[in-house]
Amino acid sequence: MKIIKRKKGKGYYFYLKESIRVGKKVKTIEKYLGKEIPKNIEELKKNMLLDINKGLYSKLEIIRKNFQKEWKRVPDSVKENQLEEISIAFTYNTNAIEGSKITLPETREIIQEHISPNKPIIDVKETEAHSKIFLEMIKTRDKLSKEILLRWHNEIFKDTKQDIAGKFRNYLVRVGKYLASNWQDIEKLLNSLIGCIEDSSKNSVELAAIAHYKFEKIHPFGDGNGRIGRLLINFILWKNGYPMIIIEKKKRKSYYKALENSEEKFVKYFIRNYLSIHKKRYIS
């Protein structure tokens, strides 16, 4: 959202300007501010953003309700199969984003048939472990905590990266051009993030996007932050009754590019992507 200045006649006037994507088109929305920028500009920005997002929130709520209706009709035995299928697709894509050479068919063989392909043993073990922790995650009734994040990390990497598995880093790291949060602040920042997640009144899809963005900026682990961060997304969605999302390997570049932007831009990217994936659930 930008503040723009226009000249009309002999005077200058200020406007709030925001661009949103509607289908394949970009729509521009403006709000007149006056001859000076108001002192309550931040409040005006929030209110304008709420008005813009009302339509999005409505669609997201329709997705949730329709998903819950669908899920209730599914027999328990079929639910188990469907969750395993989600686990296979999610595990393949989240690992592939990080460079795993395991293919989707090989992921299925590892998880369902316990057949190991002729691929690096590290990739095989992390595939097995990720699927297991994913299925445990969606069944747990525990609230989000640092201990859960540490457990996820330990279970995924205990056989492949013993030196960092289940431990917060105690050194500085740089992710591309971005210097991650100071390691001495990690636990404090995670406590704050978890508190915000638990107490938030935001829409759960928006909350999942914000949580993922903040988690990746904190970058609490020496490795595996992306995988834990994407588990966090689906933990929030599933616990609040929303269908999950799989960020596909083929969309890796746009996903990474969005993470390099501001939190606001990443949230817009995420919600737009979520609506696109679950479009059939709000368009009858």
Catalytic residue numbers? 219
Three-state secondary-structure class, residue 189: helix
Question: Tokens in use for 55?
Answer: 């339509």
Q: In the 8-state DSSP scheme, what is residue 112?
A: I
Distance CA 135, CA 90 (A): 11
81 vs 77: CA distance, rounded Å: 7
d(C-alpha 14, C-alpha 36), whole Å: 7
SS3 3: strand
- What is the maximal distance between C-alpha atoms in the chain? 76
Cα-based torsion angle of the residue sequence 261, 267, 270, 271 in order, rounded to the nearest 10 degrees: -150
Instruction: Give me 19's structure tokens.
Output: 């661009």
Helix, strand, coil content of the chain in percent (nearest 5): 60, 10, 25
Q: Is residue 95 within 8 Å of 127, Cβ to Cβ?
A: yes
Instruction: For 156-171, give one letter per residue: b (16+ CB within 10 A) or e.
Output: bbeebbeebbbbbbee
58 Cβ contact partners less than 8 Å away, ≥ 6 residues apart: none
